[in-house]
Amino acid sequence: MLPAQSFVNWFRDSSPYIHSHRNKTFVINFGGEALLDPDFDHLVHDFALLKSLGIRLVLVHGIRPQIDERLKKLDAPALFHNNLRITSELALQCVKEAAGTARVEVEALLSLGLANTPMAGYGLRVASGNFVTAKPIGVIGGVDYGHTGEVRRIDGSAIERQLDQDAVVLISPIGYSPSGEVFNLSAEQVATQVAIALRAEKLILLTEQSFCDPRSGQQILQMTTAEAGDFLDRHPDLPNIVSLPLKAAIQCSNAGVGRVHLVDRRTDGALLLELFTRNGVGTLISATPFEELRPATLNDIGGILELIKPLEQQGILAKRSREKIEMEIADYIVVERDGLVIGCTALHHDEPSRSGVIACLAVHPDYRGGSRGSRLLDHAYAKARQSGLKKIYALSTQTMHWFIERGFSQSDLTSLPDSLKSLYNPQRNSKILNKKID
């Protein structure tokens, strides 16, 4: 069990995510392998927890192993071509049986309300339906794919109505045609098209393994869609278990879904760790960088104050009021990571002396060691050069060697231009450092 203070700290750290996720639409896809896992009920309990926190939830499940199992019992081969199942009449019957059984099993687990379960006292409503219109893939390269289809249209309005009525929407990888035909679909494709149709904030693909660099074996924590596309081009032989979710993530991000997460569902609590901790445990795909260095705005003031408060209490930074930061917000630069300010600095100009002062340089303790402080300083230095400044100063009580290692020289109060001497507080007895701008 976590010590009390560790639990309190974790709960406090998760609160920004709880607030930001509330009333947002998340589409979660999980494969048929998850349903066969003895601990699948833990995952379902996590779904229910997300719903209880105000998240609008759409679940899309897969049934590949369930179809294969039924075909095996009938002594019929599972036929594939170009990674697509060829769905014969017999296979289609297996698809229907597998989808119906899987849906009922998930609904049953979502309906649990026993006193000794995490869902005790929580009446969860589940809605399913004919939300997916499909068409046949047809004959490609001489191969007839039978009853294998692709998504033609998602009835997003019908799904939205169910979400508005506080239901969890559960969708099987089956589509229907206007003529009443049934088609076997890719669960990843269904989840992708549902997320796009709903303009969901997140698509979460629960995978069967972590997304790692095949050369180093190291997990890849984040990628832009451009980087993910280059990754697929450089590694054309990736197994489907990796390439299919990655292609779905690229398509979804490019279509406007804000964030796509690839999360190894085999880690207990992976979904919660991904959504409610700063670093997560999966791989994030987004059209824009997950972390960026940019000019600060008024909306960042709360984050800046939260970041610098501990350093002010330790005497590392001089105290700054909200009003002062608001007046000087144009001077500030921040590092934002998924909506959180994890680093900041300011460059205050002094036009009479054509000098600048680096102030309020701070990086969150959890993100030190990643050269973010150096990036902030380099950005401020470049900004000073563009502004035509000739020298920048820094006042430091405890980090003077960090500045010296980055080309600053120690000087004294007499070296400060007269217009900057008013910034110096003798009580802090800060060291004065400067660096010429090339």
- 87-111 pLDDT, tens digit per residue, is 999 999 999 999 999 999 999 888 8
For the record, the structure tokens of 72 come out as 């095996």
**pTM, rounded to two decimals:** 0.75
Question: What average pLDDT score do residues 31-35 get?
Answer: 94
The residue with greater pLDDT, 216 or 168, is 168
Q: Residue 425: what pLDDT?
A: 81
Residues 188-200: tens digit of each pLDDT: 999 999 999 999 9
CA 339, chain centre distance (Å):
10
Confidence check: pLDDT of 356 > 70: yes
